[in-house]
Structure 1
């Protein structure tokens, strides 16, 4: 998404999707499996908005946009490798809600406000991440910082203070939403208790005569009533508010509680009015900040898309591709030499792999391991592709046996070109592409029954369209050109079509079995032959692409391997012309020579590995000798310290004053113990630093320093010997920490241990509403929840769930748990608290402060 200034009138959902400048003409994305790859990359996102952004991603012919996308993804990849993290959960399209909020006097629902608040939380967190360390952001990820720069002029902290903590997980407003709402709810609670007491008195008086069904108070139409047997309904003075489904029970509101119920209904009306007023105020506050909310959502959608692409790149070991442009080729060779980087040329792929093929091979390997119970064998990926075309030789004719990988080479080249121009890193060790304005492919069986086209006709229609659109900046991929028709006519047509694309000067890769095309490539400047490998001994393909030589189709050899009758093969060989046989024999001899050269290269590689192993052995022996010397030196130093300690004690014994001697002895023991510990730590650190190279400022050789510290983690401070919580990252080496109410700054050298803490987001808590929710959990391991929500349960159901939960928590060793039961009439609260006070695993039962739930929750201390 290009940087721009958004106005409130610009709030549309279309702004949240990527804008692709100069979209690439690629009518072959399905044939090259671009939609399937895009779907896979989108699986690395966390929010529906980030997923939608990636699914709308398309390649572009705008080099500036491509480079920006690649640069930002590269920066995000570096951020991830350094242990960076950000929570994108809850990010959604706020357009419709913001438009609704802008209507004068409108009120969003509480759940809608909560959803928008979660978006605001994400936007504010991202803005603060960049705002707190702008110089570090410019240095670490300038592209991401430039993308996010428009957001820095807005501050959403005031909006968060206004809205945060006022909406409960179930969508209701908390008592803290306003003082008036708190007053009304307190009054309602008092009225509840008065009505309940009055009804209990009535129940006791009526139950003596057998009029009531049971001692139960219930609610009908917001009125508190008691159940009365139908035959005794005239004995209970009051208003009947309905009957049970069986008709045996009627629900009566006694006369003495009518006024009390009227007062409660009035309070309920006032509460609803206050709730509506609060929602209107919240809606108005959100509408006032619609511009930064929408702008931040646009930015975070693209940031998450870069996050997903970076995770994909790490998973498949991808690289950032380079682009060969006329400007790059115009660099003089002398200057390129000075820059220690040769001028880029044409289309070059080294170690390229088809991403979807590699992912499928990984899945198959895992499935086989699961069946066999083996998890030690590493997965084998597709054979890497190496390919090179220069501006003066843009056409490649690939030949060779069936199942040899010709089509895979075409698809890999085309798909990686689409990925590169869509801003996605490519799975290769090195990749250089021209800047294509169009990518076209004719791959596979294009037969169309609906269009009444045969395979050959469909191919011709497709090739004709490509020929009409392709230019010198296009990539054309043609599979089995000239097939599906008479061989002689197909060969002539294939040569003519290849010649057309040669004259157009398009970048072109063609696979074929036709000898005419192989001869065409040998006789025309600007055309290269290439062959997929084939093992003549085992008669199996090797899937390697060899540039500069044509390949033999080896159809007769493959037929022989598959068991075709010898007499049929002999007759087939007799039908071949002398010229065809000679060409085949020449190609077989040429590939044998290439195989011999490959064997020699493999022998050289093995010798290099032996030399490397010998070097490693010598280094290991040197390290062992160094360790021995270190132990001897440490032993001598410890002996010196022990001698000094002995002499110190003897000196203390010579002092006549026993009290002074005892004090000096005690102080000296403590001081010697501390000095010995500090000396040991410093000695070990010095040895490690010298061994790894850290004392020579090698940044990759500092294993004793903790990595990946983030806000919320618990760290052990060496200087105090106590654990502290990280509140803020000042910079990469200084952290603001707190120990209880005390706050301080600590350097990374003072941090000995790190306990990573994972915080459950509001969205995750909302998803667990009605069940078990968790506040925090240490690490990434399985955890026992510390909170249960029983709102909406009957008293018996809630007691059963809480009883099971307490047993599990006690067995898990939790020190305390929290039970959320809501306020309501207070039946759940009283039932559960009475039950908990008599539970053998419970020590104390307390009510949390109002800002932490008040009467709507109960905190329980468990026995240890």
Structure 2
């Protein structure tokens, strides 16, 4: 059997609210929504949402982006376990989230009580955050400078790797006659030489593999074996130091175990509250007023939250001086929507949520009982009528004078006379119990029963006869007609049958009934016009509110910009005063002549032009050998040739670049005259090999990223088709960071690992457009 949450589709509302949660913590809280049974607890929950909605309307959602459930990590640390680098990133995000939340509340223009108390309970830990950021890199690896010892070990590892590569390069040259390929390669993560199998005994060392044909044997030379063993020892030392650092950080987390748990509870509550508030803000909801012993229900301009906002009809659902609302009208779904809206909005309010109304007052119901739609029980072989009856019997047993009972088409599904009788008796019993009842019917006899009992308020769902369609507009204190013949005609029933049915109906009606029907139709048309006018007035009020809000935002921005301009102007004035005082003091302390005073005044006039960029003018006549600086590249080099049309050829680290003389700044003349031979120049030019590379092995992560970023920009300016970045293997942090940078660079077409003679996994080749 469906639960009340499923019947009223509250589970769909929960799913939507979860979409506004920043973490699984908030989502779990939304999953566990229940009806409050204490009015003080419910009022506090609703007031928290109210405060959050006010904050959201002015400064947006609370920044909870870094929030995640770190409870398992805390338990691991508390049991003296060692957290991983990725775990510490989550802890850091948690600490950063706390700072953001506190700043959000601190910057707020809205005075809050409950949310302020929650945020005051959050405990910051800047020391731990700084330690994590110092030791753990953004990719989760431990940085070189996490400790002096780690830095020293990694430096030695780098040096050994350089020595190994240098030695292997030397052996390749020495042993090229016995090699299958004139280059080194890798096997089992070791650098090896591909030796012709017939000469394998001529080169001492460890055999790692053999080619499929057996013609090549891959040997790690003996001299390199020793260095690789040293490398393995240093790798083990590095691993031990990394584990020590992670353990020390884990102990710091353990020391703040209880603070973290309290923080998690508070952040979970904030995520939960702001998710409900964001839902309320997006759906123009209000905070309902809950009365513990309330005797009336008032839902003004209530909308069903699961119906398209462009199609949903807002209704005033009010039961003030009555105990029961009996809705009649056409059989087009309007009655059921009204009942579902009443039930769902009441349930949302009792669960501490804002509801889509202009204004709402709801009693603190002890429970909501619903019998809606076709709930035939196939398992129990029960008919629709039997299924409804069983549910109503159960509701009669458990409902109280503080219960809300919703019954759709009570007494339907059986003989009309018997159904009317049963429905009348059941409604009578609910009147005796004192429950709040919202029911729908199309039985005429129940309408008469309602008129005889002052505790029952009649209502109807109107029907637009001109458009021949339901308006879904609820009219209180009115009796609705079924419009069965009109609806059948709209659905395509043969016109002759429609005419015959109308004739039979007219003949069976008394003059009084005919007159009442005409009056009801006129009343419906008037109500429709009144609703259109009311809607126009409401739309204008909403537009006025939006205008006021936008004006508030614009005035706020204007004030901020004006204040910023004033501050800048004041600072400029202070600077100008200081300069003026300096000039005046100079004039007082010296016997200036008239032309010198004029020059001083001119200097004052020139102050307003200080922001203009200086234009580089070349006073020196550039010659071969002059040392110059290339401004836009921030590099220095020597002029190797003076060309026509004010162009010069500058050598930058062996690369000749053709530049205009205005693009360089003269530094000093050549210190030693040296004739440049064309042959030697040709050897150093990059055009011969087409390669350009940078080596960042041993650099800190941030320094390496900055160097590579500038290197790529320079390579693009100089027109290289491809470059090589040497980063080494190490922990893989540099390699991974560089790969992420390349992914984001729109000028990079592709990249790959270096080949056997290109650095292998320790290098990356980059190709530009």
What is the TM-score when the length of structure 2 is the normalising length? 0.70
SS class of match (1:356) = coil
Match of 1:216 among 168, 184, 188: 184
Q: Deviations over 1:592-618 (max 9, x none)?
A: 342354377479879999x99xxxxxx
2:29 matches 1:53? yes
| Alpha-carbon offset, residue 583 of structure 1 | 7.8
Task: Give the aligned partner of residue 543 of structure 1.
Answer: 472
The Cα of 1:217 is off from its aligned counterpart by 3.9
CA distance in 2, matches of 1:314, 1:466: 35
3-state DSSP of counterpart to 2:135: coil
Cα drift, residue 564 of structure 1: 2.0
1:647 paired residue number: none
1:408 matched to 2:337: yes
Shift of residue 553, structure 1, vs aligned partner: 0.6
Kindly tell me: are residues 587 and 425 of structure 1, through their superposed partners in 2, closer, same or farther at Cα, counting changes over 3 Å?
farther
Q: Is the 8 A contact 2:168 2:184 kept in 1?
A: no
* Alpha-carbon distance, 1:415 to partner: 0.9
Identify which range, 571-580 or 263-272, moves more after superposition: 571-580
1:192 aligns with 2:161: yes
Structure 1 gaps of 5+ residues are 1-25, 330-344, 362-379, 613-655, 672-768, 774-787, 811-818, 842-864
Q: Name the counterpart of 2:627.
A: none
CA distance in 2, matches of 1:230, 1:196: 23
Match among 124, 136, 142 for residue 173 of structure 1:
142
Aligned 8 A contact 1:480 1:513 in 2: yes
Distance in 2 separating the partners of 1:188 and 1:797: 19
> Is contact 2:61-2:274 (8 Å) kept?
no
CA offset at residue 480 of structure 1?
Answer: 1.1
| Cα contact 1:401–1:532 (8 A) shared by 2 | yes
Q: Distance in 1 between matches of 2:479 and 2:271?
A: 46
Kindly provide the CA deviation profile for residues 502-526 of structure 1, in whole angstroms up to 9, marking residues without a partner as x. 1111111101111122111111121
Cα distance change, pair 291–528 in 1 and its aligned pair in 2 (3 A):
same
CA separation of 1:156/1:213 partners in 2, compared to 1, >3 Å: closer, same or farther? same
Q: CA RMSD in A?
A: 4.1
Q: Structure 2 vs 1, CA of residues 321 and 821 (structure 1 numbering), >3 Å: closer, same or farther?
A: farther
Q: Distance in 2 between matches of 1:801 and 1:114?
A: 18
Taking a change above 3 Å as real, the CA distance of residues 41 and 820 of structure 1, as seen in their structure-2 partners, is: farther
SS in 2 for 1:357: coil
* 1:159–1:386 distance in 2 versus 1, CA, 3 Å: same
Cα distance in 1, alignment partners of residues 108 and 57 from structure 2:
16
Aligned to 2:485: 556
Structure 2 Cα separation of the partners of residues 563 and 557 of structure 1? 10
- TM-superposition CA deviations, 1:300-327 (whole Å, max 9, x none): 122122222222222211111112344x
Partner SS state of residue 444, structure 1: coil
* Greater mean deviation of Cα atoms: 34-43 or 93-102: 93-102
Corresponding residue for 1:750? none
SS at match of 1:45: coil
Distance 1:176 1:466, change over 3 A: farther
Match of 2:221 in 1: 254
Report the Cα offset of residue 37 of structure 1.
1.0
* Partner residue in 1 for 2:297: 347
Distance 2:455 2:482 in 1: 23
Structure 2 counterpart of 1:272: 239
Does 1:435 find its partner at 2:364?
A: yes
Matches of residues 794-805 of structure 1 in structure 2 within 5 Å?
none
Partners in 2 of 1:49 and 1:538 — Cα distance? 50
The 1-side partners of 2:485 and 2:15 are apart by: 41
Matched, 1:495 2:421: no
Change (3 A) 1:558 1:229: same
SS at match of 1:349: strand
What is the CA-CA distance between 1:413 and the residue it aligns to?
A: 0.9
The answer to whether structure 1 residue 472 and structure 2 residue 401 are counterparts is yes
- Correspondence for 1:100: 76
The answer for the alignment partner of 2:87 in structure 1 is 112
CA distance in 1, matches of 2:727, 2:452: 82
Q: Give the CA deviation at 1:670.
A: 8.7
Contact persistence 1:28–1:442 (CA under 8 A): no
1:43 aligns with 2:38: no
Aligned length: 598
Displacement of 1:289: 1.2
Check whether the contact 2:450–2:458 (CA below 8 A) recurs between aligned residues. Answer: yes
CA contact (8 A) 1:240 1:251 kept: yes
Residues 197 and 216, structure 2, Cα contact 8 Å, conserved in 1:
yes
Q: Which whole-Å CA distance do the structure 2 matches of 1:137 and 1:607 have between them? A: 35
Counterpart CA distance in 2 for 1:239 and 1:292 is 56
In structure 1, the partner of 2:6 is 30
> How far is the alpha carbon of 1:388 from its aligned partner?
0.7
Q: Give 1:797 shift.
A: 13
Q: The residue matched to 2:194 in structure 1 has which SS? A: strand
Question: Residues 62 and 104 of structure 2 are in contact (CA less than 8 Å); yes or no, is this contact kept in structure 1?
Answer: no
- Separation in 1, partners of 2:761, 2:10: 57
Q: CA deviation at 1:51?
A: 2.4
Range that drifts further, 597-606 or 316-325: 597-606
The partner residue of 2:352 within 414, 417, 423 is 423
Give the whole-Å Cα distance in 2 for the aligned partners of 1:479 and 1:193: 83
TM norm structure 1: 0.62
Matches within 5 A, 1:659-678: none
Whole-Å separation in 1 of the counterparts to 2:89 and 2:600? 65
Distance, in Å, in 1 between the alignment partners of 2:494 and 2:505 is 17
Tell me what 2:521 maps to: 592
Bigger shift: 238-247 or 432-441? 238-247
SS of structure 1 residue aligned to 2:134: coil
Cα distance in 2 between the residues matched to 1:298 and 1:43: 20
- Please state how far the C-alpha of 1:796 moved relative to its aligned partner: 13
CA drift at 1:465:
1.5
Cα gap change, 1:188 to 1:60, in 2 (>3 Å): same
Aligned-partner Cα distance in 2 for 1:404–1:607:
25
The answer to whether 1:534 aligns with 2:510 is no
Answer yes or no: is 1:509 the counterpart of 2:438.
Answer: yes
Q: Report the CA distance shift for 1:550/1:803 in structure 2 as closer, same or farther (over 3 A).
A: closer
Distance in structure 1 (CA, Å) of the matches to 2:86 and 2:422:
66
Q: Does 1:382 align with 2:312?
A: yes
Alignment partner of 1:35: what SS? helix
The match for 2:42 among 66, 75, 80 is 66
1:454-853 correspondence runs (5 A): 454-569=383-498, 571-572=500-501, 585=514, 587-595=516-524, 597-598=526-527, 601=530, 808=747, 827=759
Q: Sort the Cα spacing of 1:127 and 1:567 in 2 relative to 1 into closer, same or farther, 3 A.
A: closer
Q: Deviations over 1:461-496 (max 9, x none)?
A: 111111112111111111111111111111111111
Q: Distance in 1 between the 2:428 and 2:266 partners?
A: 47
Structure 2 distance, partners of 1:561, 1:165, is 74
2:61, 2:278 within 8 Å by CA — same for their partners in 1? no
Q: What is the CA deviation profile of residues 393-434 of structure 1, one whole-angstrom value per residue up to 9, with x for unaligned ones? A: 120000100115111101111111111122221111111111
Alpha-carbon separation, structure 1, partners of 2:479 and 2:82: 73
Q: Which runs of 5+ in 2 are unaligned?
A: 542-592, 609-704, 710-724
Query: Is the 1:41–1:309 Cα contact (8 Å) retained in structure 2?
Result: yes
Distance in 2, Cα, partners of 1:465 & 1:475: 14
Residue 164 of structure 1 corresponds to: 133
Q: Distance in 1 between matches of 2:433 and 2:449?
A: 16
Q: How does 1:13-24 map to 2 (within 5 A)?
A: none
Structure 1 or 2, whichever has the larger Rg, is: 2
Supply the distance in 1 between the matched residues of 2:728 and 2:6 (Cα, whole angstroms): 50
**Aligned residue for 1:446?**
375
Contact 1:108 1:280 (8 Å CA) reproduced: yes
Matches of 1:169 and 1:200 in 2, distance apart?
35
